[in-house]
Amino acid sequence: MTLLLASFDPPYWLSTLIKVVVVSAVVPTTALILGMVFLFKIMSWMQSRLGPQEAGPRGTLQLLADGVKFLQKEDIAPNGADRWVFKVAPLVVLMSTLLLYVALPASMRLVVADLDVGVFFVLAISSLSVIGVLMAGWASANKYSLMGALRAAGQLIAYELPMVLAVVGVVIQAGTMSLNGIVFAQADGAIFGWGGIGNPYILTQFVGFFIFIAAVQAELTQPPFDMPVAESEIVSGYQVEYTGFRFLIFFLAEFATAFAFAAIAAVLFLGGWAVPWLPTSSDWYYVLGPIVLFAKVMMVAFIIFWVRFTYPRFREDQLQSLAWKVLIPLALVNIVVTAALKVVL
């Protein structure tokens, strides 16, 4: 089986078709898994309540039932809305999510496009979603939507810089911007000459990991940084006028992006699809790689959602001062220390 996969070398049209099908199947699936496991089960467990119980065994099909319900709803555009922009906006958000999956490696060759600048690509693409959010907020002709969209745009300035700077430390240590290259560097690395478990960068880049997770939280507009969609203040912000499948697209994009960022964090800091004691050239990774990556993603996602369910939300200006006064200086110090150690060692 693994040998068969290793020798599989399809023509260009077939590989393109496979990639399109896989990405468009994986994105909703990941969103469903995260929504089901964390939003329903883990959240209800943390809040000492039962959660969904009726749809499917122990309520596991609740999200599918919700999705079907959304599809049945009428697609309403408000009266004063800029109809064309209003309808396109969710697709723009979803597009940025789909593009994120292009560069994610699930093993050495199970990757849609193994870019040399993979890190750069995912960070750049992820901020595109704000364009869709701004479009949605502006076109909705609603004051709450507009405030939510402007908050999202302001938030982008605050978290994007710490996120990039946090990743720079990893890039310096790995010496490459390719996501697969970073996985290899961690698998082949050594801790003070001991290569037993490789060198997952969470051990050396723990400051970067902390900053990255905080910035991811802001990117995903989750508590404590959920000001753009704050229900109790601006009533879900830019999503307030959306109904039916367009709202569903926002929902899908949010959770698929959460999965993608958890995967990026797993690749950058936890060693990605590789496990210790099995060389990265092994053919077993065609099967094992996605499983290992998925396990690591769930660990990171648990942290992300744990924080989401626990903390109250910041105010917009408090996020700005946190980002500019704490996270960015911390990330810069981290870069300097990493670079110095890289030169010395």
Partner 1 sequence: MTAVSDPQSVAALAAEAVDNRINLDFETEGMTLNMGPQHPATHGTMRIVARLDGEQVISAEPMCGYMHRGYEKLTEVRTYPQINALINRIDWLGSFANEVPFILAAEKLMDVEAPPRAQWIRTILFEMSRIANISLFLGDFGLQLGGMTAAFYAFRDREWVLNQIESATGGRFHPNFDRIGGLKDDLPKGWIDSSHTAMDKLLAFCDELEDLLVGNEIFQARTRGIGVIPAEIALSYGLSGANLRASGVDWDLRRDNCPPGLVYDKADWKVWTHPDGDCFARTWVRLQETREAAKIVKQLLDTIPSGPVMAKVPRIIKVPEGEAYVATENPLGEMGYYVVSKGDLVPFRVKIRSASFNNVSIVPWVARGAYVPDLVSILGSLYFILGDIDR
Q: Does 318 bind partner 1 (CB under 8 A)?
A: yes
Q: Does residue 63 contact residue 252 with C-beta atoms inside 8 Å? A: no
231 makes contact with partner 1 (CB under 8 A): yes
Contact flags string 67-106 toward partner 1, x per CB under 8 A = ----------------------------------------
Residues 6+ apart with CB under 8 A from 168: 331, 335
Question: Nearer to partner 1 by C-beta: 170 or 254?
Answer: 254
CA-closest candidate to residue 338, choices 165, 185, 198, 196: 165
Q: Which residue number, 83 or 143, has a Cβ lying nearer to partner 1? A: 143
**Minimum Å distance from CB 43 to partner 1?**
8
The single residue among 4, 11, 12, 49 that binds partner 1, judged by CB under 8 A, is 49
- 3-class SS letters over 43-86: HHHHCCCCCCCCCCHHHCCHHHHHHHHHHHCCCCCCCCCCHHHH
Could you give the CA distance from residue 127 to residue 166 in angstroms, rounded to a whole number? Answer: 16
Q: Pattern 163-202, binding to partner 1, x per CB under 8 A?
A: ----------------------------------------
DSSP structure class, residue 240: T
314 lies in the binding site for partner 1 (CB under 8 A): yes
Is the four-CA dihedral 275, 106, 163, 185 of positive or negative sign?
positive
C-beta contacts of 289-295 below 8 A and 24+ residues apart: 289/105, 289/106, 289/107, 289/108, 289/110, 290/106, 290/107, 290/110, 293/106, 293/107, 293/263, 293/266, 293/267
Binding mask 267-306 for partner 1 (x = CB under 8 A): ----------------------------------------
Among 29, 76, 310, 340, binds partner 1 (CB under 8 A): 310
Of 177 and 227, nearer to partner 1 (C-beta) is 227
CA distances from 223 to 22, 113, 201, 220 (A): 31, 32, 26, 9
Query: Which of 227, 252, 265, 301 forms a contact with partner 1 (CB under 8 A)?
Result: 227
Q: How far is the CB of 162 from partner 1 (least distance, A)?
A: 17
CA dihedral 104, 109, 115, 118 (to 10 degrees): 30
Q: Which is nearest to 334 in space by CA: 193, 84, 151, 166?
A: 166
Give the range of 46-54, 171-179, 251-259, 325-333 binding partner 1 by CB under 8 A: 46-54
| Chain residues 132-151 in contact with partner 1, contact rule CB under 8 A | 143-144, 147
241 contributes a contact to partner 1 by CB under 8 A: no
What's the rounded Cα separation, in Å, for the pair 140 and 305? 29
Q: What are residue 342's phi and psi, to 5 degrees?
A: -60, -40
**Among the residue ranges 90-98, 225-233, 251-259, 288-296, the one whose residues contact partner 1 (CB under 8 A):** 225-233
**Cβ closest to partner 1, residue 99 vs residue 152:** 152
Size of residue set near partner 1 by CB under 8 A: 28
Q: How far is the CB of 192 from partner 1 (least distance, A)?
A: 36
Which of 48, 72, 79, 281 is in the footprint of partner 1 by CB under 8 A?
A: 48
Distance CA 166, CA 198 (A): 21
List interacting residues with partner 1 (CB under 8 A).
43, 46-49, 143-144, 147, 223-224, 226-227, 230-235, 309-318
